[in-house]
Chain A
Amino acid sequence: MDPVLVIQSLISGVMMGMVYALLGVGFSLTWGVMHVIHISHAVFGLLGAYFAYTLLTLYGVDPVVSAMVSTPLLFIVACAVYQVLIRPLTKAREMVVASMILTFGLAIILENLLVLVWKADPRLLTPSYASESWIIGPFYLQYPHLIGFALSLVGISSLYVFLKKTTTGMAVRAAWQNQEAARLYGVNLFRISMITFALAVSTAGAGGISLALLYSFEPHSHNLWLIYLFLVVIVGGVGNVIGTALAGLIIGVITGLSMAFLPYQWVNLITFGLLMVFLIFRPHGLFGEVG
């Protein structure tokens, strides 16, 4: 194996992994805190990507600016989705199953709306610096990848600081670790669930924009993204932010290396073989559910 190629694919893997981590961390939180497996999570990522695509092609707006605009917008949209669709589910006997079926339906509706508005053609985010790279010795780092990576790193770090340092963030963690005790000390579960859901969806939007800086996307791309989300969450541990970030990096590196050295058809086979292995031997992930 060529060491330059190994390191080059490690670098790509780390960048890709950080983006998966940002997409996955919200998915993990809604799952852990609310017991909602949000199947349309990745579609909101695509929504972010199309939003950035439209602003870029029509007005030349940089994707980073779009991410800063889409985050509060998606937060508001997600609050409405929570109130109308998710909150009534709390009465359901099996929240997890009910939420999966409902959000699967939502994913199909949203995917078809994407086709209606943007057609089914693959798109690519091509800002002015799309073809530029930062060259260090034999290695090159493409600018769009660097920016997607940086965006994801900032997104995850902000979420982490929010959960650790703010009163509301602490209430989110409390509600996830013991709902009844959280209620006894005044935590309003509906409000906390709405905030969790909205944060998850808005970080998914930023994650979608980051991913769109690395790969082309089309209205059904969210299906593949979703499988990676499951993988990241299962390896990292449900609801565990740091675990999710590390899992994203691990999976990114594995995918990066197998893309460089194996025939394409092996890449997904290896990644999802890994998912099976985890489900059988470490169903709580590498880092556990609590963290």
Chain B
Amino acid sequence: MLEIDGLTVAYGKMTALRDVSMAIRADDMVALLGGNGAGKSTLLNTISGLVQPEKGEIRWQGQSLRGLGPDIICSLGIIQVPEGRKLFPAMTVEENLLMGAYLPAARKVRRQSLDWVYSHMPHLAQRRRQRAGSLSGGEQQMVAIGRALMARPRLLMLDEPSLGLSPRASAEVFAIVSNLNREGMTTIIVSQEVQETLSITSYAYVMENGGIALHGPSAALREDPEIKKSYLGL
């Protein structure tokens, strides 16, 4: 569904991604692991079109994404839930959700999408008229995921969705994400919670210094003591 081939990205003289290649099949749930500054967020931002690559190719269902802006990429169904949630804090919960359905195709079905999101996250319905900035961290993360769902994603990319959340809220986020995947949502998840992430994903890529250090089935990575020690800090 998504193929990345030899992707290299630089901010000025600093290389942020070097020669990254990966493939994601439809219905997959893929983990992207690695320490701070390994290039995980840069990779997602490059896929989203916020950052343009220097070299390499990203193909979506065979079509090259080269040179396309974030609005086109969003309309193709590649949707990111950014790190730190990045909500619109002074807007209500419902306005935040509706902003997810900003582009015409998603806007047409926004009423149905809203019902769909509220059915997955019922307590957001109760808070629909509240300012997003006034919610707890866990609720804000739900709004961020809900906003992404409003865009009718075909590939959902979550950047650190459990960062800074209480264990309970974090478990709730993981439950919702794996539930969505079971319903057929292709997902990439970036997370520092290695064990939890490996247990809900089928395949994992581990990044280091802007490159892919290793990759393999999540179950195998979880079992290998050598990998656990040197890459995953377990």
Contact = CB atoms under 8 A, between A and B. Distances in A.
Task: Describe A's contact surface by its main secondary structure.
Answer: helix
Contacts of B90: 173, 177, 290-291
Interface string A177-203: 110111111111000000000000000
Contact of B95 (A170, A182, A290): A170
Contacts of A174: 88, 91, 99, 102
Interface in A249-291: 290-291
A171 interface: yes
Contacts of A131: none
A128 interface: no
B133 interface: yes
Contacts of B50: 180, 183-184
Interface stretch (B16-24, B68-76, B182-190, B205-213): B68-76
B229 interface: no
B87 A181 contact: yes
A173 B89 CA distance: 10
A170 B99 contact: yes
Given A167-B102, A167-B107, A171-B99, A184 B70 contact: yes
Contacts of A181: 82, 86-88, 99
Contacts of B69: 188
Contacts of B100: 185
Q: How many of chain B's residues touch chain A, expressed as a range?
A: 20 to 34
A184 B82 contact: yes
Contacts of A188: 69, 71
A205 to B, nearest CB: 28
A90 to B, nearest CB: 14
B151 interface: yes
A185 B99 contact: yes
B99 A182 contact: yes
Nearest to B147: A185
Contacts of B88: 173-174, 177-178, 181-182
B102 A187 contact: yes
Given A178-B86, A184-B80, A186-B70, A171 B102 contact: yes
Interface of A: 167, 170-171, 173-174, 177-178, 180-188, 290-291
24 contacts: A167-B102, A167-B107, A170-B95, A170-B99, A173-B88, A181-B82, A181-B86, A181-B87, A182-B99, A183-B71, A184-B70, A184-B74, A184-B79, A184-B82, A184-B86, A185-B99, A185-B103, A186-B71, A186-B74, A186-B102, A186-B151, A188-B69, A290-B133, A291-B90
Interface of B: 48, 50, 69-71, 74-75, 79-80, 82, 86-91, 95, 98-100, 102-103, 107, 133, 147, 151
Given A170-B98, A170-B99, A174-B99, 12 more contacts: A167-B102, A174-B88, A177-B89, A177-B91, A181-B99, A184-B50, A184-B82, A185-B99, A185-B102, A186-B103, A188-B71, A290-B89
